[in-house]
């Protein structure tokens, strides 16, 4: 006796893998366009040409140009920070050491960083990361300077986060010609000066 009830649709693992691979090829093509030109040059047609797929294939994965750009920035950010498996630094010293590798990666991919991270979509997607970083710096300041009240920790954390931001990195590169090492040295020097100012005075 056969059942006349609805049957669950079969999802082919091979088809799912091919769809994921095609999606990554398309996103990689977006990166190629931005590195060779800028964000404004990204179009469905140009991405399809670089990816060597049809425009219909791109539209099948990403319905609009904005959706495509959003997916690319999200993908790039997840690669940069470790995605859902991100390991937050436990101390300010660990954070400053981590920044050195982050700045080097930003410099190596500066066109992507300046064109996408600072775009409206990029700022929106980075907001949760900044909030996570902000709360983590507040926590670290509480551990290292328990004498500080909550309001003071928040103010100092905001200043530190501003110094460490992508916006500050791009500003120093564009306006002062700093490379990644110089940006890192500048940020570390400034933050450590702030930390020394927080240390209890030894004067009797």
In a domain, 3, yes or no: no
What's the confidence (pLDDT) of residue 184?
98
In a domain, 37, yes or no: yes
**Residue that wins the pLDDT comparison between 31 and 19:** 31
Domain hosting 52: range is: 13-73
Residues 68 and 95 grouped into a single domain: no
Q: Given a cut of 80, is residue 188 above it in pLDDT?
A: yes
Q: What is the DSSP letter of 52?
A: T
pTM of the model: 0.82
Measured CA to CA, the distance from residue 204 to residue 194 in angstroms comes to 22
The count of domains in the chain is 2
Residue 163 phi, psi (nearest 5): -65, -35
Percent of the chain's residues with pLDDT above 90: 80
Residues 46 and 98 grouped into a single domain: no
Residues 58 and 95 grouped into a single domain: no
Query: In which residue are the tokens 């450590």 written?
Result: 192
What's the confidence (pLDDT) of residue 62?
96
Measured CA to CA, the distance from residue 63 to residue 203 in angstroms comes to 65
| DSSP string for residues in 103-138 | HHHHHHTHHHIIIIITSHHHHHHHHHHHHHHHHHHH
Sorting pLDDT into bands at 50, 70 and 90, what band is 30?
very high
- Of 23, 43, 73, the residue that ends a domain is 73
Residues 177 and 137 grouped into a single domain: yes
Sorting pLDDT into bands at 50, 70 and 90, what band is 167?
very high
Q: Given a cut of 90, is residue 35 above it in pLDDT?
A: yes
- Encoded tokens for 116: 């996408």
- Encoded tokens for 62: 């990403």
In a domain, 81, yes or no: no
What's the confidence (pLDDT) of residue 1?
46
What's the confidence (pLDDT) of residue 204?
42
**Polymer length in residues for the chain:** 204
Q: What's the whole-number mean pLDDT along residues 80-96?
A: 81
Q: What's the whole-number mean pLDDT along residues 126-134?
A: 92
Q: What's the whole-number mean pLDDT along residues 75-89?
A: 78
Helix (H, G, I), strand (E, B) or coil at 97: helix
Measured CA to CA, the distance from residue 111 to residue 35 in angstroms comes to 6
What's the confidence (pLDDT) of residue 131?
94
Residue 35 phi, psi (nearest 5): -65, -35
- Of 73, 104, 124, the residue that ends a domain is 73
Q: Given a cut of 50, is residue 203 above it in pLDDT?
A: no
Residues 170 and 104 grouped into a single domain: yes
Residues 126 and 41 grouped into a single domain: no
């Amino acid at each position: 006796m056969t059942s006349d009830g609805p049957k669950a649709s079969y999802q082919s693992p091979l088809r799912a893998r091919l769809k994921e691979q095609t999606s990554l090829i398309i996103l990689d093509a977006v990166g190629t366009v931005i590195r060779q030109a800028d964000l404004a040059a990204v179009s469905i047609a140009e991405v399809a040409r670089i990816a060597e797929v049809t425009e219909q294939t791109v539209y099948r994965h990403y319905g609009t140009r904005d959706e495509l750009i959003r997916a690319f920035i999200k993908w790039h950010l997840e690669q940069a920070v470790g995605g859902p498996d991100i390991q937050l630094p436990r101390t300010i010293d660990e954070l400053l050491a981590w920044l050195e590798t982050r700045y080097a990666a930003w410099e190596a991919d500066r066109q992507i960083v300046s064109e996408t991270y600072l775009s409206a979509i990029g700022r929106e997607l980075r907001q949760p990361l900044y909030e996570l970083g902000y709360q983590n710096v507040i926590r670290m300041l509480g551990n290292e300077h328990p004498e500080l009240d909550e309001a003071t920790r928040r103010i100092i954390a905001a200043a530190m986060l501003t110094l460490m931001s992508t916006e500050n990195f791009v500003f120093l590169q564009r306006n002062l010609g700093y490379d990644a090492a110089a940006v890192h040295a500048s940020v570390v020097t400034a933050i450590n000066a702030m930390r020394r100012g927080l240390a209890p005075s030894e004067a009797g």
